[in-house]
Amino acid sequence: MDQAISRARVIQFGLGPIGIGIAQVALEHGYQLVGAVDIDPQKAGRPLSQFVPGAAAVTVERTIDPLLNAGADLVLHSTQSHMDQVMPQLIPLLDAGLNVISTCEELAYPWHHHPKEAALLDELARHRGGRLIGLGVNPGFVMDALPVMLTAPCRRVDRIVVERVVDAGQRREPLQRKVGVGMTVEAFRRGVREGTMGHIGLPQSVAMIAAALRWHLDRIDESIEPEVDGAGAVRGLHQICRGHDNGATRIVLDLTMATDVDRARDLIRIEGVPPIVLEIGGGIHGDIATWAVMVNAIPRVLAARPGLLVATQLPPGS
């Protein structure tokens, strides 16, 4: 690793469970935490070390404004999932010439669903010499970047199918709420209709895969159904996203996130010449992997060309 990159000065933007985990891994890898931001009044104004043991003597700020000129090289951003929520946070960062790695799911591949916002962010980042990318385990790795990487030895690729089964009982409580654990079926379906229920990012992953393989998709559709236990209570969800091209289904991303699953796993199937099947028994732990994917990407992001990037444009990580 380049010595300057290994000494990169980092700001952690967002100190929820994911943000705290990212900051801890950044410290373990030798990066300097020079600032932190969180709007929670129980965190703002307090020492960062109360939430991230071993962190330098810095105070958690309520807004990013005091840190824009703190000499940071990069911001690890972990706040919200939707583009309209994070745009007001990202624009000042890019305008200050900062590099940003974000967990925002819709930022993983915004060109298909939010082309105007993507173009604006790309132009601003290029103009200021910064880099911006949305990363994580899903989207950002297991259901998009990893399948694309597995197509490298294929002479021809006809279809990609990814099945991810996550034991939500082993994950943090906010994720369990997001997938509906303990809800009634009626409340779950109402949440789906209102857009408050379900995993965010599968359409972005489909679009990312298609772009990497230069497939033109006519349509991307998605379905979300509850997984129900013997007593009729929701124990999670089953969500499928498909990408269609000229009547053929080219990409299928099948996600189950529930408690009491039979067998957690990540299964990737490349249908082509030659066919490739990869199964990861037990699956990749989402929280730990997200922390690591974010931090491990720092050298590759800092070495990339300026602009808005996606996971498949980076060199393979390690």
Same domain as 307, residue 246: no
* SS3 (DSSP) at 235: strand
Q: Return the pLDDT at 314.
A: 94
Is 318 part of a structural domain of the chain? no
CATH number, domain containing residue 94: 3.40.50.720
Distance between CA atoms of residues 266 and 147, nearest Å: 11
Q: Return the pLDDT at 147.
A: 98
Does residue 6 have a pLDDT over 80?
A: no
| Mean pLDDT (whole number) for 229-248 | 94
| Mean pLDDT (whole number) for 156-160 | 98
Length of the chain in residues, anyone? 318
Same domain as 250, residue 307: no
Distance between CA atoms of residues 118 and 98, nearest Å: 17
Which residues lie across from 234 on neighbouring strands? 228
| Mean pLDDT (whole number) for 291-297 | 97
Residues of 23-60 as b/e, b for ≥16 C-beta within 10 angstroms? bbbbbebebbbbbbbbeeeebbebebeebbeebeebeb
- Identify residue 1 by its one-letter amino acid code: M
What the block records as the tokens of 146 is: 């990893």
Distance between CA atoms of residues 95 and 285, nearest Å: 34
Distance between CA atoms of residues 120 and 244, nearest Å: 28
Same domain as 58, residue 125: yes
Q: How many C-beta atoms lie closer than 10 Å to residue 227's C-beta?
A: 20
Same domain as 41, residue 11: yes
Q: Return the pLDDT at 166.
A: 95
Same domain as 119, residue 149: no
| Total number of domains in the chain | 2
Same domain as 20, residue 114: yes
Same domain as 94, residue 31: yes
Residue 216 is part of which domain span?
Answer: 145-283
Is 230 part of a structural domain of the chain? yes
116-136: pLDDT as tens digits: 999 999 999 999 999 999 999
Does residue 230 have a pLDDT over 60?
A: yes
Does residue 4 have a pLDDT over 60?
A: no
Same domain as 117, residue 95: yes
Which residues lie across from 228 on neighbouring strands? 234
Q: Is the CB of residue 143 less than 8 Å from the CB of residue 205?
A: yes
Is 218 part of a structural domain of the chain? yes
The pLDDT mean for the chain works out to 95
Does residue 305 have a pLDDT over 70?
A: yes
43-85: pLDDT as tens digits: 999 999 999 999 989 999 999 999 999 899 999 999 999 999 9
Residue showing tokens 């090289």: 73
What the block records as the tokens of 127 is: 């103009």
Same domain as 241, residue 175: yes
Same domain as 228, residue 177: yes
Does residue 286 have a pLDDT over 90?
A: no
Distance between CA atoms of residues 227 and 261, nearest Å: 10
Q: Return the pLDDT at 55.
A: 94
All residues at 6 or more sequence positions from 210 whose CB lies less than 8 Å from its CB, including other chains: 216, 217, 243, 250, 251
* SS3 (DSSP) at 217: coil
Q: Is the CB of residue 132 less than 8 Å from the CB of residue 121?
A: yes
Q: Is the CB of residue 19 less than 8 Å from the CB of residue 78?
A: yes
Distance between CA atoms of residues 318 and 313, nearest Å: 15
| Mean pLDDT (whole number) for 240-250 | 96
| Mean pLDDT (whole number) for 268-276 | 98
Is 190 part of a structural domain of the chain? yes
> Could you please report the per-residue DSSP string of 35-76?
EEE---TTTTTSBGGGTSTT--S-BEESSSGGGTTS--SEEE
Q: Return the pLDDT at 2.
A: 58
Which residues lie across from 199 on neighbouring strands? none
Helix ranges (H only) for 105-183 are: 115-128, 145-150, 173-178
Is 263 part of a structural domain of the chain? yes
Distance between CA atoms of residues 276 and 293, nearest Å: 24
Same domain as 304, residue 186: no
Same domain as 294, residue 270: no
